[in-house]
Structure 1
Amino acid sequence: MSDEAPSPSSWSMRGLKRWLTTAPETRDELIRLVHDSRQFLEPDTVDMLEGVLDLPATQVREIMTPRPQVIGLHESASLPEVMDIILEAAHSRYPVFDSQDDDAVIGILLAKDLIPILVMMVRNQEDKIDSKRLRDLVRQPLYISESARSDTLLRSLQSTQVHMAVVVDDFGNFAGVVTMEDLLEEIVGDIVDEHDDFDEDSDINNIIPHPEKLDTWCVQAATVIEDCNDELGSHFDDAEVDTMGGLVMQALGYVSDLEGESVTIDDWKITITDVEGRFIRLLELTKVPETEVITNPLP
């Protein structure tokens, strides 16, 4: 008989085997089992398993890039215009819109598919792509409803062997795009590549204390309301809108001359500090002292 003491890892494996002697019968039991397995498994492994199990409960609208933030191309764009957008955005895929209808996506352009055109341009001194040729370059889009489950999206992307889908709302209107990377980030967390701006893409930096003002935070408009509530202890309602920018737009009720406008929601004063066109980019949230909170009188 060996006198060597069993290693901690062997105790963990024995405990895990005993833990799994009774198979879970429902999804909730399986989720609870995975959550409670942190005493046996590495935290990253548990987080990944929980991410996989959460896919059926996650709708596409929760992980997609919404329409205001989508960088796309128009089929009538010249080659210099297309290249300027690609060089600035540094994405690998772009939805291409019908030149007469911004809601109609004719296909997805892969940046690498422009290489033969660039070679042709160099050889023949051509300087633009006409609409027919750009239309010929795009690939057939995959459409999916914004209310579809994320696991359904995953199976669709796998079966069609594409990495980007066009998201439509209940009326068939263009609502945004969603990628395989979006799905993977739901499972493994943020994926930052060599083209990403870490400060912009990291969830941690969506909400930062104001460097000069007390009880004030700078919040990106695309921040999910639930994340803002968790971070700041606020209680903003996300029943009808998902993002902080959408919450402010809903409260204001108009879409022009937004910069500098303020609205008070619950006990927070929200000021729009940066806009791009009609779209809000950055907000400033200030906690209003209880003595200054105005309660609407009953009619």
Structure 2
Amino acid sequence: MRIYSGGYHEIISRKTMASQTYQLGFIGAGKLAGSVIRGLMRAKFCPPEQIIASEPNEQTRATLQNETGVSTTAGNAEVAEKAATIFVAVKPPMVLPVLTELKTKLENKLVVSLAGGVRIGNMEKVCDARILRALTNTPSAICRGATGISRGARSTNADVDLTKKIFNAIGVAVEIDESQMDIVTALSGSGPAFIYTVIEALAAGGTKLGLANDVAMELAIQTARGAADIMLESKMSPEELRRMVVTPGGTTAAGLAVMEKLGASESLIAAVEAATKRGQEMARENS
């Protein structure tokens, strides 16, 4: 069996690999899991032959396999049996039933849940695996993901290190207490949709005033990208960077005044709060 030389085998022993067919297995291969898999392939984290994903939708399976070269199957049991590390990426109401169904095959394996609103303690009650949670987002597909990781009662430091290694390969990963996971779900998981809405609104402003739709959108996207990149590279605060753009009495000052009047910042804060609250509600529903 081929063992990827880029670092993964430093954590998964050759003895373990000899007893497994795949390094990584995904139960569910929809939008989020598909993004993670595509990111891992883009980052050359491991060969596609070392990943298997189960997905009930035939078209989704075929598309993923054609685009990435990973193995796919319709059966969750095959993934649970053959992969060393398992990612559970089904819809939140299905997480506990899936773990219950596969518990004998998952015993003492590393299982990483990608689902929001399902607590580690509830998963550990139905499955004797080493469980962690990793809440990531769809920019993982282009190695720009933002991921929060929480450890469970049975997970080891090596499990956490491996999970960080995987998600740092496709973006940024931070370890947090599970009590903060709903906030991360809102900020990072739902956050791209909030940012897309801001970009859409900026472009709509340009279109309203006469720019062609495609021109306005291209400029809005590049503006958001450039602003994010300069924040990352400069390490300056948003306030410091804002002061570099604003001239008293100028165009930026006029625009910011309207944003403040209409409560633009407050609406984004409220969006994060609402998404967090919904995550907490989902946790109660899936207990």
- TM-score by shorter chain over 0.5: no
Q: RCO higher in 1 or 2 (8 Å CA, sep ≥ 6)?
A: 2
* More helix, by proportion: 2
Q: Where on the TM-score scale, by shorter chain, does this alignment land: which range?
A: under 0.3
TM-score computed with the length of structure 1 as normaliser: 0.20
TM-score computed with the length of structure 2 as normaliser: 0.21
